């Protein structure tokens, strides 16, 4: 087993392993140490013995028993509560079956404790992005438009508060779920986005994250029948259905207009349609349901040219009322340009960038560059593409923008 393969397993499994170790060990700090120990053991043993049948269970077990050894040697085992200490030694066939079922729900437990109402609102999402999505502190800081040390302090304080208050690492009672749903849905949404369109790195997508977000949404929908859970699930299924068409055989970014729609997964689209119908049948459409409706219009168009862009603009108008956001406004501007032409889109994007909301967002400058290119303003387009290129951290996007710049001469 190569180092690249081990790193791939870390990217795929580390958040699941961490979530289970937090349940077993009771603190983020011990769990993070145990996870590092587990992957160190994997690096030693897997190249010799091969990949275990259940890598996540192997890693959780390795991290758990390495922690027991370390705490016993340092005489710190008594620092753990009786319940956690008993569970650390839990074994036997029945225990293993129960443990496998618990591991399956651990990430949902982790989301709920990160988004606990006892934590400051600005810390909930930062902690969830760090621990559930595995984003780096610097990446979260860019998303919040605040310095990285500020995010780091929020995360440290949130973990301390969880420990000090002894917040339960479990799913809330059904009656408590609706009040805690908003931040949890937002976390799953961001987890999916990081999988569907990675924020940085060499790969355009991280499919394991997208699939995990869909799995968590299905679990949540099983706990609570809420229209916005259905809307989010529909949105993710629509998006995930066209994942295979988003990149070329060599890994290059393929825009929606240029995608081979025969590669879109028809079963995924059909399931998403059913979810969207169920969400719409339950009353007023929320932000995720409206985004799913927009994705549905794209999914039903046989070709890019046949897309009902006027309907998409109307849906974005509703979405802006439900969820005022510069990014939503940018997406609406792109849709307006498809109806009224690039000059109309350029005016809207210039207003957004001028207001300062999207000055540091690479996709705003990329959209501006594309409008300028269509209008024949070559020098201005070059400058806008260069601005977008300087801001993006994702290699396939950098390659795409570089090709656009080269095409301008």
- Identify the weakest region by mean pLDDT among 50-59, 111-120, 133-142, 378-387: 133-142
Within 8 A by CB and 6+ apart from 93, the residues are none
**Average pLDDT, rounded, for the chain:** 88
Within 8 A by CB and 6+ apart from 175, the residues are none
The three-class DSSP label of residue 394 is strand
Query: How far, in Å, CA of 288 to CA of 280, rounded?
Result: 11
How do residues 143-162 score in pLDDT, each as one tens digit?
A: 676 889 999 999 999 999 99
Query: How far, in Å, CA of 57 to CA of 64, rounded?
Result: 10
Here the tokens at position 349 are: 């994007």
**Would you say the C-alpha torsion 390, 239, 115, 166 has a positive or negative sign?**
negative
The three-class DSSP label of residue 300 is helix
At residue 75 the predicted structure's pLDDT band, cuts being 50, 70 and 90, is low
How do residues 107-155 score in pLDDT, each as one tens digit?
A: 888 988 998 989 998 899 899 888 887 888 887 887 676 889 999 999 9
Query: How far, in Å, CA of 45 to CA of 51, rounded?
Result: 9
At residue 94 the predicted structure's pLDDT band, cuts being 50, 70 and 90, is very low
Element (H, E) at 200: strand 200-201
Are the C-beta atoms of residues 249 and 272 closer than 8 Å to each other?
Answer: no
Are the C-beta atoms of residues 38 and 77 closer than 8 Å to each other?
Answer: no
Query: Average pLDDT of 73-87?
Result: 59
**Which of 366, 313, 369 has the alpha carbon at shortest distance from 338?**
313
Which is it for strands 200-201 and 393-394: parallel, antiparallel or unpaired? parallel
How do residues 334-376 score in pLDDT, each as one tens digit?
A: 999 999 999 999 999 999 999 988 999 999 999 999 999 999 9
Kindly state the percentage of the chain with pLDDT values over 90.
55
Q: So what's the pLDDT on residue 93?
A: 37
**Which of 314, 249, 239, 301 has the alpha carbon at shortest distance from 269?**
239
How do residues 159-175 score in pLDDT, each as one tens digit?
A: 999 989 989 888 888 88
**Which of 63, 51, 53 has the alpha carbon at shortest distance from 20?**
63
Distances (CA, A) of 235 to 78, 133, 152, 228, 329: 47, 19, 31, 10, 18
Q: Is the pLDDT of residue 74 over 80?
A: no
Q: So what's the pLDDT on residue 100?
A: 55
At residue 87 the predicted structure's pLDDT band, cuts being 50, 70 and 90, is low
Q: Is the pLDDT of residue 182 over 70?
A: yes
How many Cβ atoms are within 10 Å of 305's Cβ, its own excluded? 7
Within 8 A by CB and 6+ apart from 113, the residues are 22, 162, 167, 168, 169
Here the tokens at position 374 are: 């269509």
Instruction: Determine the Cα angle at 121 with ends 117 and 124, to 5°.
Output: 75
Q: So what's the pLDDT on residue 313?
A: 98
Distances (CA, A) of 308 to 62, 179, 263, 317: 53, 36, 21, 15
Q: So what's the pLDDT on residue 37?
A: 93
């Amino acid at each position: 087993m190569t180092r690249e393969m081990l790193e791939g397993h870390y990217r795929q499994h580390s958040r699941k392993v961490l979530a289970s170790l937090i349940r077993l060990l009771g603190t983020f700090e011990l769990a993070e140490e145990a996870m590092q120990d587990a992957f160190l053991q994997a690096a030693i043993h897997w190249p010799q013995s091969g990949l275990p049948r259940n890598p996540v269970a192997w890693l959780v077990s390795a991290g758990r028993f390495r922690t027991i050894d370390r705490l016993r040697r340092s005489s710190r085992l008594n620092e753990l509560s009786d319940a956690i200490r008993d569970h650390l030694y839990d074994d036997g066939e029945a225990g293993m079956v129960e443990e496998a079922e618990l591991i399956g729900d651990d990430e949902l437990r982790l989301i709920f404790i990160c988004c606990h109402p006892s934590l400051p609102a600005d810390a909930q999402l930062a902690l969830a992005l760090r621990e559930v999505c595995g984003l780096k502190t610097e990446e979260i800081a860019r998303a919040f438009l605040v310095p990285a040390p500020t995010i780091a302090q929020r995360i440290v304080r949130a973990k301390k508060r969880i420990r000090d208050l002894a917040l339960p690492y479990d799913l809330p009672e059904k009656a408590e779920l609706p009040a805690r749903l908003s931040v949890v849905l937002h976390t799953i949404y961001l987890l999916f986005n990081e999988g569907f369109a990675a924020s940085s790195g060499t790969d355009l997508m991280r499919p394991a994250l997208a699939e995990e977000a869909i799995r968590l949404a299905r679990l949540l929908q099983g706990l609570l029948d809420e229209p916005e859970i259905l809307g989010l699930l529909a949105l993710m299924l629509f998006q995930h259905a066209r994942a295979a068409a988003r990149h070329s055989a060599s890994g290059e970014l393929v825009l929606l207009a240029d995608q081979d729609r025969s590669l879109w997964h028809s079963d995924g689209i059909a399931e998403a349609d059913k979810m969207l119908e169920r969400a719409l049948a339950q009353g007023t459409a929320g932000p995720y349901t409206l985004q799913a409706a927009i994705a549905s219009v794209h999914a039903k168009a046989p070709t890019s040219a046949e897309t009902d862009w006027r309907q998409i603009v109307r849906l974005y108008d509703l979405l802006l009322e439900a969820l005022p956001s510069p990014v939503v406004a940018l997406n609406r501007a792109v849709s307006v340009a498809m109806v009224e032409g690039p000059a109309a889109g350029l005016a809207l994007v210039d207003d957004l960038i001028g207001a300062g909301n999207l000055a540091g967002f690479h996709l705003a400058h990329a959209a501006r560059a594309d409008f300028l290119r269509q209008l024949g303003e070559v020098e201005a387009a070059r400058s806008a593409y260069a601005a977008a290129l300087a801001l993006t951290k994702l290699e396939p996007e950098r390659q795409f923008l570089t090709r656009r710049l080269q095409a301008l001469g």
